[in-house]
Amino acid sequence: MDYELRRAREKLEKEQKERKDRARLRLDRDRKAKEEAKKQRDAIEAVQRSRRLDAIDAQLKADQLMQEDLLAGGGIVFSRIFEALPYQGSGDKIKLPPSCFSELSGQGAFDKGPLHFKLSVVHQEGPSNMKNSEGENLRTTHSGVLEFTADEGSVGVPPHVWSNLFPSDNTLTAPLVEVRYVRLPKGTYAKLQPDTSGFTELPNQKAILETSLRQHATLSQDDVFTVNYGELAYKLRVLELKPSSSISVLETDIEVDIVSPDEKSEGKDQYTLKPLVFGKSESGVVEEGNYVYYKFSIDNNTSENVVSGDKRIEVKIDNEIDGGDTNVYMSKHPLIFPSRHQHLWSSHDMSSKVLILSSNDKSFGVGTYSIGVYGFKGTTKFQVSVTIEDNSGRKVGQQATSSSSSVEMDTVKCRNCNHYIPSQSITLHEAFCSRHSVVCQHAGCGIVLRIDEAKNHVHCDKCGQAFQRDEMEKHMKVFHEPHSCPCGVVLEKAAMVQHQGSSCPLRLISCRFCGDMVQAGSSAMDVRDRLRGLSEHESICGSRTAPCDSCGRSVMLKDMDIHQTAVHQKS
């Protein structure tokens, strides 16, 4: 009996224990379920809270951006994203679609002065990386507007703006650009750095900069813009601007500082004038198609000696025998970099080349002269020197007088060489002359040559000039091969020299109003200015006003002579 009671009690205790364990496990499961549910609720609330904060942040950023747009645009909000398409033009003015004109006009943008825009490259990988302001190191610049003729959805970008937005060539065919209307302050100061030291050789760099900046509406810090001087082009980086990092350059006077270029770029600059000392030879090397430039100066004493006929200036270039060849061009400042088509003196000889400045040269005078050694073929080592030489004691025309007097003596004209020979020796001379000499039969030549020399004596079929046979190839390439002018005209050398001296829009002229050496430009837009013979630059430069010395009225510079004649009867 006791045994059965004990077994019943143990069974009851065991069942109670199992029930307690199941109850404890159930409580643990319920607790864990509640904790998991709480974690899920907390996570959902965190996500919802984050979304609410992101929405509030986005709204704040949108409001802030709107306020910035209103502030930057002076109350005008304009921001569009376009496909950038390049077009060939000068300056920094872009082309926008006609719809932009309507939108800007509706907000009164044209009543607030010139239009300026901020251009930013748009990242195209995803919406989270869209704009430069969100951390992407994408380029921005500023521009004006040229016209509203672009296709809808695209913006026409000139080379200057394109190179600043996309400095590398690895860009998309039609990259996206955000165009935002902004108001820019008028600039007061700019610090610029040319890429090469040759820019410092230009006369009156600030006047050249002023001419180039007439095609620009804005400047932005870190931008690079190109300054053209004749056929030469220089790149300048904008280091600093005032009063802000982006300025308007329209109708404002800007103080400009030009700093020295980086040392890395100086060695690569072929447009640097190396000084020459009279009587001292300098060595040089020039690559095919490149120039090496030198300069020397003539003072008053030297000029007087040359003008009087006692002295002459000789510029000599000797090529080393290494298969290369050069041409030499020389000019007088302000034309500082003579080229194949712009020069006053030149030599295309195969061997040594000598240029002589004498009293007979109308262009000779006191000043600085430039020598351009052009690599015509291969890599050429050369020696260049400038010397002052004494003229011989013979006067000009003395030899001619002596010959004339000899003709009056008892002389006979040789039937072979047409020279006048004393009659007592004419028979012997003609016998010798007919065996060893021959007269060139080319029309207008008539030069007497030894028979062995006559084989190499040839005439150009186009111009008729006489040369040695080995010189003909160079003559044809230099004088008769078509050359391309940077303005787009293709002509032979003679016509090209005339073109670049009289009608090329890139030719350098001395402006009659500002006195600076500037590019002439194309024909003046005004018919009256064309009749006056004014170039495009002179037409624009002469439109500036100045007070009349007689009456104080503001008169355009190009009309000042007419005003003086018509109003004050001054001739």
pLDDT average, residue stretch 214-230: 86
Residue-wise burial string across 213-251, b where 16 or more C-beta atoms lie within 10 A, e elsewhere: bebbbbbbbebbbebbbbbbebbbbbeebeeeebbbbbe
Q: Which of 56-70, 164-178, 393-407 has the lowest mean pLDDT?
A: 393-407
Give the whole-angstrom CA distance, residue 397 versus residue 402.
9
Q: Which of 78-82, 152-156, 228-232, 547-551 has the lowest mean pLDDT?
A: 228-232
| DSSP at 56 | H
Q: Which residues contact 249 (CB under 8 A, 6 or more apart)?
A: 187, 213, 216, 217, 218, 219
Query: How confident is the model over 78-90, as pLDDT tens digits?
Result: 889 999 999 988 8
Does the pLDDT value for residue 169 go beyond 70? no
**Helix (H) or strand (E) segment spanning residue 313:** strand 311-319
In terms of Cα–Cα distance, which of 240, 287, 244 is closest to 268?
Answer: 287
Does the pLDDT value for residue 351 go beyond 70? yes
pLDDT of residue 130: 39
Apex CA 270: angle with CA 211 and CA 293, to 5°?
90
Does the pLDDT value for residue 365 go beyond 70? yes
In terms of Cα–Cα distance, which of 545, 513, 548, 542 is closest to 530?
Answer: 542
pLDDT average, residue stretch 443-468: 75
pLDDT of residue 387: 92
Place of tokens 């700093």: 259
pLDDT of residue 395: 38
- 36 φ, ψ to 5°? -65, -40
pLDDT of residue 239: 92
Alpha helices in 414-559 (DSSP H): 426-436, 451-454, 472-475, 493-502, 527-531, 536-541
Q: Which of 6-10, 385-389, 403-407 has the lowest mean pLDDT?
A: 403-407
pLDDT band of 173, cuts 50, 70, 90: low
Does the pLDDT value for residue 396 go beyond 50? no
- 341 φ, ψ to 5°? -115, -10
Answer yes or no: are the C-beta atoms of 406 and 419 closer than 8 Å. Answer: no
Give the whole-angstrom CA distance, residue 200 versus residue 183.
34
Answer yes or no: are the C-beta atoms of 557 and 514 closer than 8 Å. Answer: no
pLDDT of residue 172: 55
Query: How confident is the model over 335-345, as pLDDT tens digits?
Result: 788 888 788 88
Residue-wise burial string across 36-68, b where 16 or more C-beta atoms lie within 10 A, e elsewhere: eeeeeeeeeeeeeeeeeeeeeeeeeeeeebeee
Q: Average pLDDT over the chain, rounded to whole?
A: 80
pLDDT of residue 507: 78
The two tokens of residue 405 are 């007097």
pLDDT of residue 150: 92
Place of tokens 């004419």: 426
Give the whole-angstrom CA distance, residue 433 versus residue 430.
5
pLDDT average, residue stretch 520-548: 83
pLDDT of residue 531: 85
Strand locations in 378-501, DSSP E?
380-390, 411-413, 420-422, 437-439, 448-450, 457-459, 466-468, 483-484, 490-491
Give the whole-angstrom CA distance, residue 389 versus residue 61.
79
pLDDT band of 406, cuts 50, 70, 90: very low
Peptide bond just before 86 cis, omega within 30 deg: no
Residue at 508: amino acid letter: L
pLDDT average, residue stretch 347-375: 86
pLDDT of residue 400: 38
- Please tell me the pTM assigned to this model: 0.59
Apex CA 81: angle with CA 80 and CA 82, to 5°?
115
Give the whole-angstrom CA distance, residue 440 versus residue 127.
82
Place of tokens 């770029």: 265
Q: Which of 231-235, 315-319, 378-382, 547-551 has the lowest mean pLDDT?
A: 231-235
Q: Residue 421 CA to chain centroid, in angstroms? A: 62
Q: Which residues contact 247 (CB under 8 A, 6 or more apart)?
A: 184, 185, 186, 187, 188, 190, 218, 219, 241, 254
Does the pLDDT value for residue 17 go beyond 80? yes
Query: How confident is the model over 99-158, as pLDDT tens digits?
Result: 999 999 988 888 888 899 999 998 755 443 334 444 445 689 999 999 999 999 999 999
Range with the largest mean pLDDT of 140-154, 205-219, 394-408, 484-498? 140-154
Does the pLDDT value for residue 392 go beyond 90? no
Answer yes or no: are the C-beta atoms of 183 and 73 closer than 8 Å. Answer: yes
Tell me how far CA of residue 364 lies from CA of 39, 288, 361, in angstroms: 96, 30, 5
Q: Which of 119-133, 481-495, 499-513 has the lowest mean pLDDT?
A: 119-133
Q: Which residue has the higher pLDDT, 496 or 326?
A: 326
Q: Which domains does the chain have, with CATH numbers?
A: 79-123+138-182 (2.40.40.50), 189-258 (3.10.330.10), 273-390 (2.60.120.380), 411-452 (no CATH), 508-568 (no CATH)
Apex CA 91: angle with CA 87 and CA 97, to 5°?
50
Q: Which residue has the higher pLDDT, 232 or 140?
A: 140
pLDDT band of 171, cuts 50, 70, 90: low
